Amino acid sequence: MSETRNFFVSEENIGLRIDKFLSLQMPEFSRSEIQKFKITSVNGRSLKLSDKTRLGEEYVVEVEQQKSDVAIENISTDFDLDILYEDSDIIVINKPRGVVIYPSAGNKTKTLVQNLLAYTHLSSLGGDTRPGVVHRLDKDTSGVMVFAKTDAAYRELVKTFSTHDLTRKYVTFVWGVPPWGGADITGNIARSSRNRQKMTMVKSGGKPAHTVVNVADVWTKAGISMFRCTLLTGRTHQIRVHLSAHGFPVLCDPLYGKTGARIGSIKDSDLLDFVRSHNGQMLHAEVLEFKHPITGEQMHFKTKLPDEMLELKEILDSIQ
């Protein structure tokens, strides 16, 4: 199955590598996936993906949905779906912690997509293993997500997320107490050359990233704060990378949390037990606002903190 998409080069995208430009326009695909697509120029230029974009140029991309060795199977209801909204075009879910969104080599069962398919249909445009998926949350990040049920909704939602024409707010618990009430964090993010599972801030290259941080609460004795973060871009692990790089790593984050260096400072036994027994970032997608992809209606969803984060807050409140 394939579909054709057209992309125009505007002033802000002049001089980018063509494959990088297209990856910005189609964030649901990796650059290596895009390099397998058939790409032509309406302007008649013979293209190499390493060529630079030119103002006003139009590219036609024949998107082939790649077959995967991991099929959508074992469709089942492994956990109850917390459905916030549903109509014929979209479904909005409060994703639980500890659940992978779609099947992969290491997670072939008990994913959110498989549970959704047991309940309803999803757009096939996301591919064999990612039907209806227009954005992602990490396994241990909970919170609000939207999935496309129709192809028309899928296309419009992909545009919405790629242009960042929406509001995404997160709640997280971090190590450290800042001397400020809020901050703007900017800095390009790229995949780490040392550990391919990690992202890192880079001085050149990568993708621009912007996170607005507001302090929601602090527990000075514990040396822990609660932040509300607004994403103005949507890079992989963006909040976790930005906060860690600025000295406020997310609690219990196995990749960026630097928990080992902090455990020795914990004096409260309940807090110590909690940190030792939880291996997954304390990060929750609290708010998602966007225009309905078909009707244009403004949609707003807000979710409560998951049980683990409520338990953590209760422990911290008892320390003060």
Residues identified as active-site: 138
Alpha-carbon distances of 80 from 64, 112, 115, rounded to whole Å = 33, 10, 8
Q: How many CB atoms lie within 10 A of CB 83?
A: 13
Q: Is 155 exposed, middle or buried (0-12, 13-18, 19+ CB in 10 A)?
A: middle
Q: Is 56 exposed, middle or buried (0-12, 13-18, 19+ CB in 10 A)?
A: exposed
- For the record, the structure tokens of 208 come out as 């621009």
Pairing of strands 142-148, 283-291: parallel
Alpha-carbon distances of 162 from 166, 232, 261, rounded to whole Å = 10, 11, 37
Rounded Cα distance between 249 and 225, Å, is 10
Q: How many CB atoms lie within 10 A of CB 184?
A: 10
